[in-house]
Amino acid sequence: MLLWTKPGKIVTWIAFALVFGVLVLAPFIVVAAAAFAGSWNGVFPSSPTTSHLAEALSGDELASLTVSLQTAFLGGLLAVVLGTWAALAARNAPKPLARFADALHHLPIAVPSVVVGLSLLVAFSRQPVLLNGTKWIVVIAHLVLMVAFSYGTVAAALQRTNDAYAEVAASLGASPARVLWQIRLPMLRPAIVSAASLSIALSMGEVGATIMVYPASWRTLPVSVFALTDRGQTFTAAAESLVLLAVTVVLVVTLDRLRGRSVER
């Protein structure tokens, strides 16, 4: 949008500040405020306390955080490996097969996550593959959802890379494995790290599918937040949300740094 007059610019900025402030920023501030509120009866919270935060970082709730982290790393890692592999394979596959792989990997994005969760639950609740009640059904649900994003990110990066690099490497006598490990994958590193960071961020916040499949022993942090809110413990839920937010931001920023460095090199 190109605006040349001063009033025009001012009006736009005010509109932007209102929309962004009220719809995006304010809810975060409210959650942060609620996390430290002893009570909230008037317009503003009162009797500030850190007891909710302490609660969020102890016992069952702390266990939820480690469960979330394990799920995100396990699911995310597997998703990146599988997504990268699939993207590389699709690149050299015949056209119809590549298009089929493309469509297949976009399915989990199109299908509602609740449906993904339900279908996994139905599929793995009986022999021969009985995973219901184990943490693996949660990891698989996350994997299914994240692999689509990993595949998409890596495939897009692959589309931009020239085959000439791999061809020249081969002409210099490199075996296909050497070409893969020393040329193709290092050149895809920024995209792979992006995919990992996206997968982990999404996994940390995943509720829809998780809530359908999680066993009592493997409750992720967002599910805990949901359960607490459901029981009316809004302040503890807010404190836990704050922890979730902080951990996710730290993870994504760290991974982003990693990517930044690899681009710089």
Partner 1 sequence: MTVRLEDVTVRFGQTVALEGLDLTVAAGETVALLGPSGSGKSTALKAIAGFVRPSRGRIWLAGADVTDVPPARRGIGVVVQQYALFPHLRVADNVAFGLRAARKPKAEVARRVAEVLEMVGMAKYARRYPRELSGGQQQRVAIARALAIQPPVLLLDEPLAALDAQLRADMLGELQKLRREVPDVAIVYVTHDQSEALALADRIAVMRDARLVDIAPAADLYSAPPSAFTASFLGGANLLPVEVVEGGVRLAGQTLAGLRPQAATLPGDAGGASYQGAGRSGAGGRSEALLLCIRPHAIKLSDRVGEADAVGERGEGGGATAGDSWPGVLVGAQWRGASSRLTCVIDGLPAVSVQVDVPTGECLPEVGAKVSIELPVEACTLVAAEGR
The residues of the shown chain that bind partner 1, judged by CB under 8 A, are 162, 164-165, 167-176, 178, 182-183, 186-187, 189, 262, 265
**Token representation of residue 8:** 């025009």
End-to-end Cα separation, the chain, in angstroms: 36
Length of the chain: 265
Instruction: Supply the minimum distance, in Å, between the C-beta of residue 264 and partner 1.
Output: 10
Q: Which is nearer to partner 1, 66 or 182 (CB)?
A: 182
Beta bridge partner(s), residue 46:
39
**Angstrom distance (rounded) from CA 204 to CA 138:** 12
Q: How far is the CB of 158 from partner 1 (least distance, A)?
A: 15
DSSP state of 172: T
| For partner 1, the closer CB: 187 or 207 | 187
Whose Cβ is closer to partner 1: residue 88's or residue 247's?
Answer: 88
> What minimum distance in Å lies between the beta carbon of 187 and partner 1?
6
Distances (CA, A) of 63 to 122, 161, 220, 236: 27, 43, 8, 15
Task: Identify which of residues 167 and 256 has a Cβ nearer to partner 1 in the complex.
Answer: 167
Dig out the tokens for 107 from the structure. 């399915």
Indicate the residue among 74 and 183 with the shorter CB distance to partner 1.
Answer: 183
Question: CB of 135: closest distance to partner 1 in angstroms?
Answer: 37
Tell me how far apart the alpha carbons of residues 35 and 236 are, in angstroms, rounded to a whole number.
7
CB of 175 to partner 1, least distance (A): 6
Minimum CB separation from partner 1 for residue 166, in Å? 9
User: For residues 12 and 251, what is the distance between their CA atoms, to the nearest angstrom?
Assistant: 34
| Distance, CA of 92 to CA of 98 (rounded, Å) | 8
Identity of the residue, 38 or 186, whose beta carbon is nearer to partner 1 in the bound complex: 186
Which contacts (CB < 8 Å, 24+ apart) does range 114-121 have?
114/208, 114/209, 114/211, 114/212, 116/141, 116/144, 116/145, 116/208, 116/209, 117/141, 117/208, 117/209, 117/210, 117/211, 117/212, 117/213, 118/212, 120/144, 120/209, 120/212, 120/213, 121/212, 121/213
Q: Which is nearer to partner 1, 51 or 182 (CB)?
A: 182
Write down the least CB distance from residue 99 to partner 1, Å.
16
